[in-house]
Amino acid sequence: MGVRVQREDFDIGAEVSRLAAGRTDIGAVVTFTGVVRDENSGGPIAGMTLEHYPGMTEQELARVEADAGKRWPLQASLIVHRVGALRPGDNIVLVVTASAHRQAAFAAAEFLMDYLKTRAPFWKKEFGPDGKEHWVEARDSDGRAAERWEDASARRS
Amino acid sequence: MSVKILYFAWVREKTGKAEEVVDLPPGVKTVADVVAWLKTRGPEYAEAFARPGVVRAALDQTHVQPGASIAGAREIAFFPPVTGG
């Protein structure tokens, strides 16, 4: 279990190896990697700056991770989120979940991404090839993606 | 009450500062009261908080709604809806 906020890139293979080192109870590892695209809402993107709220970011990520651990039987999980200057093709975020079986690992990885997108205090400022900057607007679809997990827990209880 | 206020992303750009320590008047009890008070401090604040309900808040690094009491808070943060991931 762990969360990290960092400027530098991450190595997916190294992160998974470290997470699973010395363990033989893990039957499934799911990784999700978010990558900077070269376009957004139809406009070309030359790069972005990711700002965050130091302290609260780590707390929110840890809270989301703990929530996932209560919902699914996870052997291990990891969230790494980058901040600072990023360019198209750069990694932004890594989520790793490990469980005895794939269903829990898949579901937990999706849950972690949906929740961190609506709760973790990060803000993206993009700029185009012309250098013009704009703040990325939150998407309603991200809010709905997180809400469906609320519906799922309401149905269960 | 003296409290640290933090601003992030375009809220920071509009207010022109990342953080400040302010003395809140006694009548300011909730997050919404803080916003209303800040808006009286100058056009840059009025502009930052112009669109009602858009700016989000956290008290001591925990998300809160506008009606939340600020009693005992050491740090109040204002920011746009988050866009990480």
Query: pLDDT by residue (tens digit) across B22-70?
Result: 999 999 999 999 999 999 999 999 999 998 789 999 999 999 999 999 9
Strands (E), A7-155: 28-35, 39-40, 43-44, 47-52, 74-82, 84-86, 91-99, 122-127, 133-135
Q: Is B6 on the interface with A (CB under 8 A)?
A: yes
List the structure tokens of A74.
Answer: 């996870």
* Helix, strand, or coil (residue A92): strand
Containing domain of residue B37, as a range? Answer: 2-79
Of B8, B58, B83, the CB nearest to A124: B83
Please report, for the domain that includes residue B37, its CATH number.
3.10.20.30
**Count of domains for chain B:** 1
Give me the residue label for tokens 């409290």: B3
Q: Is residue B33 part of a domain?
A: yes
Report the predicted TM-score, pTM, of the whole model to 2 decimal places: 0.93
Contacts of A121 in chain B (CB under 8 A): 8, 58, 77, 79, 82, 84
pLDDT at A62 over 50: yes
Q: Which CATH class is domain A3-151?
A: alpha beta
| Dihedral pair phi/psi, residue A26, rounded to 5° | -95, 120
Q: Is residue B54 part of a domain?
A: yes
As for the ipTM of the complex, it is 0.95
Q: Is residue B52 part of a domain?
A: yes
Q: Is residue B45 part of a domain?
A: yes
Average pLDDT rounded to a whole number, residues A80-96: 98
Q: Is residue B84 part of a domain?
A: no
Q: Is residue B51 part of a domain?
A: yes
Q: Is residue B44 part of a domain?
A: yes
Q: How confident is the model at residue A156 (pLDDT cuts 50, 70, 90)?
A: low
Domain segments of chain A: what residues? 3-151
